[in-house]
Structure 1
Amino acid sequence: MTYSGKVRVGGPAEAHELGELIISKVAVGPMENNAYLLRCRETGEQLLIDAAAEPGTLLRLIGPDGLRTVVTTHQHPDHWQALAEVVAATGALTCAGREDAAGIPVPTDAPLDDGDVVRVGRVELGVRHLRGHTPGSVALVYDDPDGAPHVFTGDSLFPGGVGNTRGDAAAFQQLIGDVEERLFTPLPDETWIYPGHGDDTSLGAERPHLGEWRARGW
Protein backbone atom coordinates (compact mmCIF):
# COMPACT_ATOMS: atom_id res chain seq x y z
CA MET A 1 0.00 0.00 0.00
CA THR A 2 1.30 3.45 -0.90
CA TYR A 3 1.90 5.60 2.17
CA SER A 4 -0.42 8.62 2.30
CA GLY A 5 0.03 9.84 5.88
CA LYS A 6 -3.75 9.91 6.27
CA VAL A 7 -4.82 7.71 9.20
CA ARG A 8 -7.97 7.81 11.30
CA VAL A 9 -8.90 6.60 14.78
CA GLY A 10 -10.09 3.02 14.56
CA GLY A 11 -8.47 2.53 11.17
CA PRO A 12 -5.30 0.68 10.23
CA ALA A 13 -1.78 1.96 10.62
CA GLU A 14 0.15 3.03 7.53
CA ALA A 15 3.82 2.19 6.96
CA HIS A 16 6.28 4.54 5.26
CA GLU A 17 9.11 2.26 4.20
CA LEU A 18 12.52 3.91 3.80
CA GLY A 19 15.85 2.34 3.02
CA GLU A 20 17.05 2.08 6.63
CA LEU A 21 13.87 2.79 8.59
CA ILE A 22 10.22 1.77 8.60
CA ILE A 23 7.83 4.42 10.00
CA SER A 24 4.39 3.19 11.05
CA LYS A 25 1.75 5.83 11.77
CA VAL A 26 -1.45 5.16 13.70
CA ALA A 27 -4.19 7.46 15.03
CA VAL A 28 -5.60 6.96 18.53
CA GLY A 29 -8.53 8.54 20.34
CA PRO A 30 -10.15 10.45 21.87
CA MET A 31 -8.07 13.47 20.72
CA GLU A 32 -7.10 11.98 17.32
CA ASN A 33 -3.43 11.86 18.18
CA ASN A 34 -0.81 10.36 15.93
CA ALA A 35 1.69 7.85 17.27
CA TYR A 36 4.71 6.76 15.25
CA LEU A 37 6.59 3.48 15.56
CA LEU A 38 10.08 3.58 14.06
CA ARG A 39 11.86 0.32 13.23
CA CYS A 40 15.50 0.02 12.24
CA ARG A 41 15.68 -2.35 9.29
CA GLU A 42 19.16 -3.60 10.15
CA THR A 43 18.65 -4.42 13.83
CA GLY A 44 14.86 -4.65 14.25
CA GLU A 45 15.06 -2.26 17.22
CA GLN A 46 11.95 -0.09 17.67
CA LEU A 47 11.20 3.38 19.03
CA LEU A 48 7.75 4.88 19.68
CA ILE A 49 7.01 8.59 19.39
CA ASP A 50 4.12 9.59 21.70
CA ALA A 51 2.31 6.85 23.60
CA ALA A 52 -0.74 9.05 23.33
CA ALA A 53 -3.70 6.75 24.11
CA GLU A 54 -5.15 3.29 23.47
CA PRO A 55 -2.31 1.18 24.91
CA GLY A 56 -3.79 -1.96 23.36
CA THR A 57 -3.59 -0.43 19.89
CA LEU A 58 0.00 0.67 20.46
CA LEU A 59 1.12 -2.66 21.90
CA ARG A 60 -0.37 -4.51 18.94
CA LEU A 61 1.52 -2.19 16.63
CA ILE A 62 4.74 -2.79 18.57
CA GLY A 63 4.22 -6.54 18.35
CA PRO A 64 6.40 -9.32 19.78
CA ASP A 65 9.77 -7.73 18.96
CA GLY A 66 9.48 -5.28 21.84
CA LEU A 67 10.27 -1.61 22.25
CA ARG A 68 13.61 -0.07 23.12
CA THR A 69 12.62 3.60 23.56
CA VAL A 70 9.57 5.84 23.78
CA VAL A 71 9.91 9.58 23.17
CA THR A 72 7.21 11.98 24.40
CA THR A 73 7.24 15.12 22.28
CA HIS A 74 5.79 17.33 25.02
CA GLN A 75 4.02 17.35 28.36
CA HIS A 76 0.37 17.80 27.32
CA PRO A 77 -1.66 14.86 28.66
CA ASP A 78 -3.10 13.76 25.33
CA HIS A 79 0.43 12.74 24.31
CA TRP A 80 1.17 10.40 27.25
CA GLN A 81 -2.11 8.77 28.31
CA ALA A 82 -0.81 5.30 27.35
CA LEU A 83 2.78 5.86 28.41
CA ALA A 84 2.62 4.08 31.77
CA GLU A 85 0.99 0.98 30.27
CA VAL A 86 3.37 0.83 27.32
CA VAL A 87 6.44 1.19 29.54
CA ALA A 88 5.12 -1.40 32.00
CA ALA A 89 4.55 -3.89 29.18
CA THR A 90 7.82 -3.29 27.33
CA GLY A 91 10.37 -1.90 29.79
CA ALA A 92 11.17 0.83 27.26
CA LEU A 93 13.51 3.71 28.05
CA THR A 94 11.62 7.02 28.34
CA CYS A 95 12.78 10.29 26.78
CA ALA A 96 11.29 13.80 26.77
CA GLY A 97 12.41 17.40 26.56
CA ARG A 98 14.20 18.43 29.74
CA GLU A 99 11.90 21.38 30.47
CA ASP A 100 8.76 19.22 30.09
CA ALA A 101 9.88 16.12 31.97
CA ALA A 102 8.44 17.26 35.31
CA GLY A 103 5.00 17.58 33.70
CA ILE A 104 4.91 13.95 32.58
CA PRO A 105 3.83 11.56 35.36
CA VAL A 106 5.97 8.66 34.11
CA PRO A 107 9.61 9.31 35.06
CA THR A 108 11.85 10.41 32.19
CA ASP A 109 14.98 8.26 31.97
CA ALA A 110 16.78 10.47 29.46
CA PRO A 111 15.95 14.22 29.38
CA LEU A 112 16.55 15.70 25.94
CA ASP A 113 18.22 18.96 24.95
CA ASP A 114 18.57 20.68 21.59
CA GLY A 115 21.25 18.95 19.53
CA ASP A 116 21.04 15.61 21.32
CA VAL A 117 20.82 12.37 19.35
CA VAL A 118 18.33 9.57 19.99
CA ARG A 119 19.14 6.20 18.40
CA VAL A 120 16.93 3.40 17.17
CA GLY A 121 19.25 0.59 16.15
CA ARG A 122 21.70 2.04 13.58
CA VAL A 123 19.49 5.05 12.87
CA GLU A 124 20.11 8.44 14.48
CA LEU A 125 17.43 11.05 15.22
CA GLY A 126 18.50 14.60 15.96
CA VAL A 127 16.66 16.48 18.72
CA ARG A 128 15.37 19.99 18.04
CA HIS A 129 14.04 21.97 21.00
CA LEU A 130 11.03 24.01 19.82
CA ARG A 131 9.89 26.35 22.59
CA GLY A 132 6.45 27.95 22.73
CA HIS A 133 3.74 25.30 22.58
CA THR A 134 5.26 24.05 25.83
CA PRO A 135 8.63 24.97 27.37
CA GLY A 136 10.21 21.62 26.49
CA SER A 137 8.61 20.52 23.21
CA VAL A 138 10.97 18.57 20.98
CA ALA A 139 11.02 17.46 17.36
CA LEU A 140 13.04 14.54 16.03
CA VAL A 141 14.88 14.81 12.70
CA TYR A 142 15.91 11.77 10.65
CA ASP A 143 18.34 12.75 7.90
CA ASP A 144 17.70 9.91 5.47
CA PRO A 145 20.94 9.13 3.58
CA ASP A 146 18.85 7.89 0.65
CA GLY A 147 16.47 10.83 0.36
CA ALA A 148 14.84 13.80 2.05
CA PRO A 149 14.85 14.37 5.83
CA HIS A 150 11.89 13.27 7.95
CA VAL A 151 10.78 15.29 10.99
CA PHE A 152 8.41 14.34 13.81
CA THR A 153 7.13 17.68 15.11
CA GLY A 154 4.68 16.84 17.89
CA ASP A 155 2.34 19.82 18.27
CA SER A 156 4.89 22.45 17.19
CA LEU A 157 4.24 22.38 13.43
CA PHE A 158 1.19 21.30 11.44
CA PRO A 159 -0.20 21.76 7.95
CA GLY A 160 -1.27 25.41 8.04
CA GLY A 161 0.65 26.71 11.01
CA VAL A 162 2.58 26.26 14.22
CA GLY A 163 1.12 24.83 17.41
CA ASN A 164 -1.36 26.55 19.69
CA THR A 165 0.19 29.18 21.97
CA ARG A 166 -3.15 30.11 23.55
CA GLY A 167 -3.04 33.80 22.64
CA ASP A 168 0.35 34.36 24.27
CA ALA A 169 2.15 36.66 21.82
CA ALA A 170 5.58 36.04 23.34
CA ALA A 171 5.10 32.26 23.18
CA PHE A 172 4.01 32.52 19.55
CA GLN A 173 7.08 34.55 18.62
CA GLN A 174 9.28 32.05 20.41
CA LEU A 175 7.68 29.08 18.65
CA ILE A 176 7.66 30.48 15.13
CA GLY A 177 11.21 31.70 15.64
CA ASP A 178 12.43 28.28 16.72
CA VAL A 179 10.53 26.53 13.91
CA GLU A 180 12.07 28.86 11.34
CA GLU A 181 15.60 28.71 12.78
CA ARG A 182 15.74 25.00 13.60
CA LEU A 183 13.58 23.45 10.88
CA PHE A 184 12.85 25.73 7.91
CA THR A 185 16.30 27.31 7.64
CA PRO A 186 18.53 24.21 7.75
CA LEU A 187 16.22 21.71 6.03
CA PRO A 188 15.11 21.50 2.39
CA ASP A 189 11.61 21.84 0.98
CA GLU A 190 11.40 18.08 0.43
CA THR A 191 11.52 17.46 4.20
CA TRP A 192 8.59 15.27 5.26
CA ILE A 193 6.69 16.48 8.33
CA TYR A 194 4.87 14.08 10.66
CA PRO A 195 2.71 16.08 13.12
CA GLY A 196 1.13 15.11 16.41
CA HIS A 197 -2.38 15.29 14.95
CA GLY A 198 -3.75 15.09 11.42
CA ASP A 199 -2.19 14.54 8.03
CA ASP A 200 1.46 14.83 7.06
CA THR A 201 2.91 17.78 5.16
CA SER A 202 6.27 19.03 3.90
CA LEU A 203 8.40 22.07 4.61
CA GLY A 204 8.00 23.08 0.98
CA ALA A 205 4.21 23.12 1.26
CA GLU A 206 4.34 25.30 4.39
CA ARG A 207 7.31 27.59 3.70
CA PRO A 208 5.42 30.11 1.50
CA HIS A 209 3.02 30.81 4.36
CA LEU A 210 5.49 31.71 7.11
CA GLY A 211 4.90 35.43 6.59
CA GLU A 212 1.13 34.92 6.79
CA TRP A 213 1.50 33.04 10.06
CA ARG A 214 3.64 35.80 11.56
CA ALA A 215 1.16 38.46 10.44
CA ARG A 216 -1.87 36.70 11.92
CA GLY A 217 -0.05 35.85 15.18
CA TRP A 218 -0.99 32.19 15.41
Structure 2
Amino acid sequence: MGLTYTGDVTPGGPAAVRELAGLTVSKLAVDPQMANNCYLLRCRETGAQVLIDAADDSPALLELTGGEIDTVVTTHQHWDHHRALADVFAVTRPQVAAGAPDADAITEATGVQVTRRVGDGDVVKVGKVDLEVIAVAGHTPGSICLLYRDPEGHPHLWTGDSLFPGGVGATFGDADAFATLIDQVESKIFGTLPDETWFYPGHGGDSTLGAERPHLTEWRARGW
Protein backbone atom coordinates (compact mmCIF):
# COMPACT_ATOMS: atom_id res chain seq x y z
CA MET A 1 0.00 0.00 0.00
CA GLY A 2 2.96 2.33 0.47
CA LEU A 3 3.18 2.83 -3.30
CA THR A 4 -0.41 4.01 -3.60
CA TYR A 5 -0.72 6.10 -0.44
CA THR A 6 -1.54 9.73 -1.24
CA GLY A 7 -2.81 11.07 2.08
CA ASP A 8 -6.21 11.94 0.60
CA VAL A 9 -9.01 10.93 2.97
CA THR A 10 -12.63 11.98 3.41
CA PRO A 11 -14.68 12.16 6.63
CA GLY A 12 -16.84 9.06 6.78
CA GLY A 13 -14.58 7.26 4.33
CA PRO A 14 -11.97 4.57 4.93
CA ALA A 15 -8.55 5.14 6.39
CA ALA A 16 -5.58 5.51 4.07
CA VAL A 17 -2.82 3.08 5.05
CA ARG A 18 0.91 3.42 4.50
CA GLU A 19 3.48 0.73 5.34
CA LEU A 20 6.86 2.05 6.49
CA ALA A 21 9.92 0.18 7.68
CA GLY A 22 8.89 0.11 11.32
CA LEU A 23 5.40 1.56 11.27
CA THR A 24 2.02 1.07 9.73
CA VAL A 25 0.39 4.51 9.38
CA SER A 26 -3.40 4.76 9.14
CA LYS A 27 -4.87 8.18 8.40
CA LEU A 28 -8.58 8.69 9.12
CA ALA A 29 -10.60 11.87 8.54
CA VAL A 30 -13.44 12.66 10.94
CA ASP A 31 -16.23 15.29 11.14
CA PRO A 32 -17.46 16.63 7.79
CA GLN A 33 -17.32 20.23 9.03
CA MET A 34 -13.82 20.32 10.52
CA ALA A 35 -12.29 17.42 8.53
CA ASN A 36 -9.77 16.58 11.22
CA ASN A 37 -7.11 13.97 10.53
CA CYS A 38 -6.45 11.25 13.11
CA TYR A 39 -3.39 9.05 12.74
CA LEU A 40 -2.89 5.56 14.14
CA LEU A 41 0.76 4.46 14.20
CA ARG A 42 1.38 0.76 14.77
CA CYS A 43 4.79 -0.77 15.46
CA ARG A 44 5.18 -3.55 12.93
CA GLU A 45 7.39 -5.58 15.25
CA THR A 46 5.48 -5.38 18.53
CA GLY A 47 1.95 -4.31 17.57
CA ALA A 48 2.07 -1.34 19.96
CA GLN A 49 -0.15 1.54 18.84
CA VAL A 50 -0.12 5.32 19.25
CA LEU A 51 -3.07 7.50 18.24
CA ILE A 52 -2.34 11.09 17.23
CA ASP A 53 -5.37 13.31 17.97
CA ALA A 54 -8.57 11.62 19.13
CA ALA A 55 -10.35 14.38 17.28
CA ASP A 56 -13.91 13.05 16.90
CA ASP A 57 -16.02 9.97 16.12
CA SER A 58 -14.88 7.64 18.89
CA PRO A 59 -16.67 4.61 17.38
CA ALA A 60 -14.62 4.94 14.19
CA LEU A 61 -11.41 5.45 16.16
CA LEU A 62 -12.07 2.47 18.40
CA GLU A 63 -12.81 0.33 15.36
CA LEU A 64 -9.59 1.52 13.72
CA THR A 65 -7.54 0.76 16.82
CA GLY A 66 -9.21 -2.51 17.72
CA GLY A 67 -9.80 -1.02 21.16
CA GLU A 68 -6.13 -1.13 22.11
CA ILE A 69 -3.93 1.96 22.29
CA ASP A 70 -0.73 2.43 24.26
CA THR A 71 -0.59 6.22 24.00
CA VAL A 72 -2.81 9.02 22.72
CA VAL A 73 -0.91 12.14 21.71
CA THR A 74 -2.89 15.38 21.46
CA THR A 75 -0.99 17.78 19.21
CA HIS A 76 -2.49 20.90 20.78
CA GLN A 77 -5.27 22.19 22.98
CA HIS A 78 -7.88 23.29 20.40
CA TRP A 79 -11.28 21.70 20.95
CA ASP A 80 -11.55 20.02 17.55
CA HIS A 81 -8.48 17.85 18.21
CA HIS A 82 -9.63 16.11 21.40
CA ARG A 83 -13.43 15.71 21.21
CA ALA A 84 -13.18 11.90 21.29
CA LEU A 85 -10.39 11.72 23.87
CA ALA A 86 -12.63 11.02 26.86
CA ASP A 87 -14.52 8.21 25.11
CA VAL A 88 -11.38 6.64 23.69
CA PHE A 89 -9.63 6.88 27.05
CA ALA A 90 -12.55 5.24 28.86
CA VAL A 91 -12.21 2.13 26.69
CA THR A 92 -8.45 1.87 26.12
CA ARG A 93 -6.88 3.53 29.21
CA PRO A 94 -3.74 4.67 27.36
CA GLN A 95 -1.00 7.00 28.43
CA VAL A 96 -2.01 10.53 27.42
CA ALA A 97 0.69 12.86 26.10
CA ALA A 98 0.61 16.52 25.11
CA GLY A 99 2.85 19.54 24.99
CA ALA A 100 3.39 20.81 28.53
CA PRO A 101 1.99 24.35 28.00
CA ASP A 102 -1.29 22.93 26.61
CA ALA A 103 -1.75 20.05 29.04
CA ASP A 104 -3.93 21.79 31.64
CA ALA A 105 -6.28 23.17 28.98
CA ILE A 106 -6.70 19.70 27.45
CA THR A 107 -7.50 18.18 30.84
CA GLU A 108 -9.96 20.97 31.66
CA ALA A 109 -11.78 20.51 28.36
CA THR A 110 -11.87 16.70 28.33
CA GLY A 111 -11.69 15.59 31.94
CA VAL A 112 -8.77 13.34 30.96
CA GLN A 113 -5.51 13.75 32.84
CA VAL A 114 -2.45 14.33 30.66
CA THR A 115 -0.10 11.76 32.13
CA ARG A 116 2.94 12.82 30.12
CA ARG A 117 3.81 16.46 29.45
CA VAL A 118 6.35 16.58 26.65
CA GLY A 119 8.63 19.13 25.07
CA ASP A 120 11.54 19.51 22.67
CA GLY A 121 13.73 16.44 22.49
CA ASP A 122 11.38 14.09 24.31
CA VAL A 123 10.56 10.73 22.75
CA VAL A 124 7.19 9.04 22.44
CA LYS A 125 7.66 5.32 21.87
CA VAL A 126 5.54 3.17 19.56
CA GLY A 127 6.87 -0.23 20.54
CA LYS A 128 10.39 -0.34 19.08
CA VAL A 129 9.89 2.93 17.16
CA ASP A 130 10.83 6.38 18.49
CA LEU A 131 8.83 9.50 17.73
CA GLU A 132 10.85 12.65 18.47
CA VAL A 133 8.92 15.60 19.88
CA ILE A 134 9.43 18.99 18.23
CA ALA A 135 7.74 21.79 20.15
CA VAL A 136 6.45 24.52 17.81
CA ALA A 137 4.72 27.40 19.58
CA GLY A 138 2.50 29.95 17.85
CA HIS A 139 -0.70 28.18 16.85
CA THR A 140 -1.00 27.38 20.56
CA PRO A 141 1.69 27.68 23.25
CA GLY A 142 2.07 23.91 23.55
CA SER A 143 1.68 22.68 19.99
CA ILE A 144 3.92 19.73 19.15
CA CYS A 145 5.05 17.83 16.07
CA LEU A 146 6.22 14.20 16.02
CA LEU A 147 9.12 12.98 13.89
CA TYR A 148 9.87 9.44 12.74
CA ARG A 149 13.29 8.97 11.16
CA ASP A 150 12.62 5.97 8.93
CA PRO A 151 15.85 3.93 8.79
CA GLU A 152 14.94 2.65 5.33
CA GLY A 153 13.57 5.84 3.81
CA HIS A 154 12.92 9.52 4.40
CA PRO A 155 11.68 11.20 7.60
CA HIS A 156 7.98 11.41 8.41
CA LEU A 157 6.54 14.30 10.43
CA TRP A 158 3.12 14.77 12.03
CA THR A 159 2.57 18.51 12.33
CA GLY A 160 -0.82 19.03 13.97
CA ASP A 161 -2.00 22.50 12.98
CA SER A 162 1.47 24.07 12.90
CA LEU A 163 2.25 23.34 9.25
CA PHE A 164 0.04 22.65 6.23
CA PRO A 165 0.53 22.48 2.49
CA GLY A 166 0.43 26.19 1.61
CA GLY A 167 1.33 27.72 4.94
CA VAL A 168 1.68 27.60 8.69
CA GLY A 169 -1.26 27.27 11.05
CA ALA A 170 -3.65 30.05 11.93
CA THR A 171 -2.58 32.64 14.49
CA PHE A 172 -5.88 34.52 14.48
CA GLY A 173 -4.52 37.96 13.68
CA ASP A 174 -1.86 37.87 16.40
CA ALA A 175 1.29 39.20 14.73
CA ASP A 176 3.56 38.10 17.57
CA ALA A 177 2.16 34.56 17.50
CA PHE A 178 2.63 34.42 13.73
CA ALA A 179 6.25 35.58 14.06
CA THR A 180 6.87 32.88 16.66
CA LEU A 181 5.24 30.20 14.53
CA ILE A 182 6.94 31.03 11.24
CA ASP A 183 10.33 31.41 12.98
CA GLN A 184 10.04 28.06 14.73
CA VAL A 185 8.69 26.22 11.69
CA GLU A 186 11.56 27.61 9.62
CA SER A 187 14.29 26.87 12.16
CA LYS A 188 13.10 23.64 13.80
CA ILE A 189 11.51 21.95 10.80
CA PHE A 190 12.77 23.36 7.49
CA GLY A 191 16.14 24.20 9.05
CA THR A 192 16.84 20.67 10.26
CA LEU A 193 14.95 18.23 8.02
CA PRO A 194 15.50 17.33 4.36
CA ASP A 195 13.24 18.12 1.42
CA GLU A 196 12.05 14.53 1.12
CA THR A 197 10.46 14.69 4.59
CA TRP A 198 6.79 13.79 4.23
CA PHE A 199 4.49 15.64 6.61
CA TYR A 200 1.00 14.83 7.81
CA PRO A 201 -1.12 17.78 9.06
CA GLY A 202 -4.13 17.98 11.33
CA HIS A 203 -6.50 18.75 8.45
CA GLY A 204 -6.41 18.10 4.72
CA GLY A 205 -3.80 16.56 2.48
CA ASP A 206 -0.15 15.78 3.09
CA SER A 207 2.92 17.31 1.47
CA THR A 208 6.71 17.29 1.56
CA LEU A 209 9.04 19.93 2.93
CA GLY A 210 10.62 20.21 -0.49
CA ALA A 211 7.30 21.18 -2.07
CA GLU A 212 6.70 23.90 0.54
CA ARG A 213 10.22 25.24 1.15
CA PRO A 214 10.24 27.66 -1.83
CA HIS A 215 7.22 29.46 -0.36
CA LEU A 216 8.59 30.28 3.10
CA THR A 217 9.51 33.85 2.14
CA GLU A 218 6.08 34.35 0.63
CA TRP A 219 4.35 33.08 3.79
CA ARG A 220 6.42 35.36 5.97
CA ALA A 221 5.69 38.39 3.78
CA ARG A 222 1.92 37.83 3.71
CA GLY A 223 1.77 37.41 7.48
CA TRP A 224 -0.24 34.21 7.64
Q: TM-score normalised by the shorter chain: which range applies? A: over 0.9
Task: State the TM-score, normalized to the length of structure 2.
Answer: 0.96
Counterpart residue number, 1:181: 187
1:54 to 38, 57, 62: 57
For the residue of structure 2 that corresponds to 1:26, the secondary structure is strand
1:172 aligns with 2:175: no
The residue matched to 1:211 in structure 2 has which SS? helix
Partner of 2:163: 157
Counterpart mapping for 1:60-209 below 5 A: 60-64=63-67, 66-105=68-107, 106-209=112-215
Counterpart selection for 1:32 from 32, 35, 55: 35
Query: CA deviation digits over 1:166-201, x for unaligned, max 9?
Result: 011110010011111111011000000100000000
Report deviation, 1:63: 1.1
Helix, strand or coil at the partner of 1:197: coil
Letter in 1 for 2:9: V
Cα-Cα RMSD: 0.7
Taking the aligned partners of 2:18 and 2:197, their CA distance within structure 1 comes to 14
Instruction: Could you tell me which runs of 5 or more consecutive residues in structure 2 were left unpaired when the two chains were aligned.
Output: none
Alpha-carbon distance in structure 1 between the residues aligned to 2:199 and 2:132? 14
Q: Could you tell me how far apart the structure 2 residues matched to 1:46 and 1:56 are?
A: 17
Distance 1:119 1:28 in 2: 25
Alignment coverage as a number of residue pairs: 217
* Inter-partner Cα distance in structure 2 for 1:76 and 1:181: 24
Q: Which AA in structure 2 matches 1:199?
A: G
Structure 1 residue matching 2:176: 3-state secondary structure:
helix
Distance in 2 of aligned mates of 1:186 and 1:31:
31
Q: How many angstroms does 1:31 deviate by?
A: 1.1
Which amino acid counterpart does residue 48 of structure 2 have in structure 1?
Answer: E
> What is the DSSP-based 3-state SS (H/G/I as helix, E as strand, rest coil) of the residue aligned with 1:104?
helix
Partners of 2:124 and 2:213 lie apart in 1 by 27
Counterpart of 2:216? 210
Q: Whole-Å Cα distance in 1 between the matches of residues 185 and 93 of structure 2?
A: 33
- TM-score by length of structure 1 reads 0.98
Structure 1: which 5+ residue stretches go unaligned?
none
Q: Using the TM superposition, give the Cα deviation of residue 18 of structure 1 relative to its aligned residue in structure 2, in angstroms.
A: 0.6
The structural deviation recorded for 1:19 is 1.3
Corresponding residue number in structure 2 for 1:44 = 47
Q: Between the two proteins, what is the percent identity of the paired residues? A: 61
Where has structure 1 moved over 2 Å in runs of 4 or more? Answer: none
Task: Give me the whole-angstrom Cα distance separating, in 1, the residues matched to 2:89 and 2:152.
Answer: 32
Aligned to 2:8: 6
